[in-house]
Amino acid sequence: MSHPIPALEVRGLGKSFPIGGLFSRDSVRALHGVDLTIGRGEIVALVGESGSGKSTLARCVARLEKPGEGAILLAGVDVLKRDRFQASRAFRSQLQMVFQDPFGSLNPAHRIEHFLRRSLAIHGKGGHTETETQTRLEELMATVGLQADMLDSYPHELSGGQRQRVAIARALAVEPQVILADEPTSMLDVSVRIGVLNLMRKLRDEKGISMLYITHDLASARYLADRTAVMFAGELVEEGESLDLLANPAHPYTQLLVSAVPDPARAGSYDPIRRAQLRQAVMASTGCAFDRDPDQPCSADEPVRHQVGGPENRHWVRCHLYRPRAGAGGHALAAEPAAAASTQAGHPASNLPKKASA
């Protein structure tokens, strides 16, 4: 992407939630020092487990939560400084969200037309005459692959995939530059998931909309996103071109995520019990920057970013255990995804000490 100003840039974003009683001063750190850039017309996937902070990041960026620190730049403008207290209408017309649950995000008492018409009216995109608005509504429906006569339907008359398309059409009505999609396919039936992913890609290709695609499905991240960022315990630990990242995961946590995806094509046998043990080993050995455990080799300092492979992959990892090209052998987990990755002639991305798999 040669555009000098990215569509969305997040700098050093942090967020803590207070825990305990009314007078407690304890807090849990949900996000820490998150830097993320999404170029114009780029799709970036954010992956991680439940509780890793993915949704908190999305909610902070969408101004549904107030971040504790950091900056959010939309097209180069710091929106936290511009709209001090809450999201402005201008902000909403630049950035829209699509949520996970298409059954909960559409009011059952209204027809589909109502949702789209309301978006158009609030943001003044409906044109000046009723005819223009009607044309715009039909265009929107066509864009997301729905029949115009469904405008008269109620949400309960639509399937999950169709509802999610309506939610996307509602976001599109305001002509945003960025869409945040929080697990948009996880509640849909398998055969319609691909259709929604294809629709998202079509919107990027045809309208140049940038997207942050939040998911825990690595295969769909690889399918849809140009780049993938991995979130672990509120921090980004690895990021890179999707194909390269999943073929050569360098962080033990990424390796764990990749190995947890069921894939009948994977070379070798599937042994979930061994994987569960590996997970415990990984979790124990990479408490690192997050635990500040003095007994771990990876403790006191925050890990720095290491480049993985060539610069064209824009692939970096933040892990004390990462040793670029330090001989063969390597981390026990690294062997499995690498063995399955036959087409990517990448570098031996991960050469972590044996210790981690003990």
Partner 1 sequence: MTVSQTSFGSHEPVLDVRNLTVQYTGDTRSTTAVDRVSFSIGTGEVFGLAGESGCGKSTIANSIMRLLKDPAKIAGGSITFGGRDVLAMSPDELRRFRWQDVAMVFQSAMNSLNPVLTIGEQIVDIFTTHAGLSRRESLRRAGELLELVRIDPARLKSYPHQLSGGMRQRAVIAMAVALKPSLLILDEPTTALDVVVQQEIMAQIKELQRELGFSVLFITHDMSLMVELSHRMAVMYGGRIVETAKAHDVYADPRHPYTQALMGAFPPLTGPRVPLTGLPDGVKFRNIPDLAEVAPGHLVAPFGADDLSIPRGVHVTGDEAAALEGAIR
User: What's the min distance (Å) between Cβ of 297 and partner 1?
Assistant: 24
The span of 11-19, 111-119, 131-139, 274-282 binding partner 1 (CB under 8 A) equals: 274-282
254 binds partner 1 (CB under 8 A): no
For partner 1, the closer CB: 73 or 282? 282
For partner 1, the closer CB: 113 or 241? 241
The span of 9-17, 30-38, 112-120, 241-249 binding partner 1 (CB under 8 A) equals: 241-249
216 binds partner 1 (CB under 8 A): yes
For partner 1, the closer CB: 64 or 194? 194
261 binds partner 1 (CB under 8 A): yes
3-state secondary structure the chain: CCCCCCCEEEEEEEEEEECCCCCCCCEEEEEEEEEEEECCCCEEEEECCCCCCHHHHHHHHCCCCCCCEEEEEECCEEHHHHCCCCCCHHHHHHEEEECCCCCCCCCCCCCHHHHHHHHHHHCCCCCCCHHHHHHHHHHHHHHCCCCHHHHHCCHHHCCHHHHHHHHHHHHHCCCCCEEEEECCCCCCCHHHHHHHHHHHHHHHHHHCCEEEEEECCHHHHHHHCCEEEEEECCEEEEEEEHHHHHHCCCCHHHHHHHHHCCCCCCCCCCCHHHHHHHHHHHHHHCCHHHHCCCCCCCCCCCCCEEECCCHHHCCEEECCCCCCCCCCCCCCCCHHHHHHCCCCCCCCCCCCCHHHHC
Binding-site member from 245, 257, 333, 349 for partner 1 (CB under 8 A): 257
The span of 11-19, 149-157, 268-276, 287-295 binding partner 1 (CB under 8 A) equals: 268-276
3 binds partner 1 (CB under 8 A): no
Binding-site member from 207, 275, 305, 314 for partner 1 (CB under 8 A): 275
Binding-site member from 269, 327, 328, 345 for partner 1 (CB under 8 A): 269
For partner 1, the closer CB: 139 or 271? 271
For partner 1, the closer CB: 75 or 194? 194
Total number of residues shown for the chain: 358
Contacts of partner 1 in 180-209 (CB under 8 A): 189-195, 198, 201-202, 205-206
What is the binding site for partner 1 (CB under 8 A)? 49-50, 145, 160, 189-195, 198, 201-202, 205-206, 216-220, 222-223, 226, 243, 246-247, 256-258, 260-266, 269-273, 275-276, 279, 340-343
